[in-house]
Structure 1
Amino acid sequence: MNYEEMRAMEQTHVCAQCGGRLSTKWDPGKSFYRLGCGRDPNHQGFSRIPSAEEELQRGLAPASNMSKEDHRVFEGQFEQRIGPSLLPKADLETGQALEQGQLQGLIAWAEVVSLRPYLGHVAIMRGKPYVTIDGYYYLARRRGRSLSIGVRPAT
C-alpha cells in the first residue's frame, strides 16, 4: 500500500480496537510509512466506517446528524427499497433456490429470535437457518454488549 492509499484510508477507516482515527506515520526503524491508530500505536487492525445502510443493518444508533424520527423514516424506506433484495434466495452451500415455504419459515424464525430478515440478518445453509454477521452485530447492540469481529492479514 502506498502513501496516498494510506492517507485515503484515514478518511474511510477507524482503529478496530478503540474506534479512534487512523494516522499515517513514518517508521524510522523500518524505513517506510505505517498506517495505525492515532491514539495508541500498539493497537492492531482497522475497520471500515459503516455507511448509513450498514449502521441500520447492524442495529447501530442513528448518526449524530440524524434525528430519531429521520432514522425511523430512513429505516422504513430502506426496508421497502432494499429489504426484499436482502432476503436469501438460495441455500448458501448448495445454491438451491429456496421455496416460498422455506422463506416464510425463515422469516418466522428470525422474528422469534429478534432478528430482522429484511435487513439481511439471516441466511439458509444446508437447509438450516443461520445468523449473518450483521445479525450478530444487531443482536449485540440490542443486548447492550460490545462485539468486534476483526480480520488481520495472514503474513
Structure 2
Amino acid sequence: MNLTPHTHFDDGRIPRHVQYSALGNIYFYDQLIITEFNEGVNISYVTGIQLLMECLKHIGPKPFIIISNRVNSYSVQPNDYKYLERVPNLNGIAIVAKDSVSAANAMLESKFFTKAFAVFEDIKSASEWSQSLIDPDLTVAK
C-alpha cells in the first residue's frame, strides 16, 4: 500500500520516512520524530519497543526529539519513561495536547522523565522548542 505522507508543517517539509503500525504512525523528519498513536492503544515498553528500535534505526546516532502529537486518546505507562531516558541521543519529548485533560495528563507524565519535557498547543511551537534543544545557539526560548 502506497500512502501519501502527511506533512505537519506549513513550510512544505515532508517526512523522510513514515512507519505505519497497529499502534499508530511515526513520522521521521531530520532530527525530529512525530508520533500519532491510534485511539485506545496502550503505549508501554512492551508495546513500543519495536517502534523505538525503528526510530533508532532511522535517526542513527544524531540527537533527536520526539513530538507526541496527541490527536487521539490512548494510555501511556509513565513508569516506562525510564527506558526512554536511557536513549543517549534523545534530547527531549514534546507533547502536543488537544485539550486541557490531555495537557494535565502530559504534565503528570513529565514527573517520570528527567530529560527535557514540555507541553504545547500546536506542532509549530513544539518544533521550535525542539530545535532549540538540538541547536542551543538558536535564540528560541527554552
TM-score in same-fold range (> 0.5): no
- Give the TM-score taking structure 2 as reference length: 0.28
Q: Could you say which structure has the higher helix fraction?
A: 1
Q: Could you say which structure has the higher strand fraction?
A: 2
Whose Rg is larger? 1
- Give the TM-score taking structure 1 as reference length: 0.27
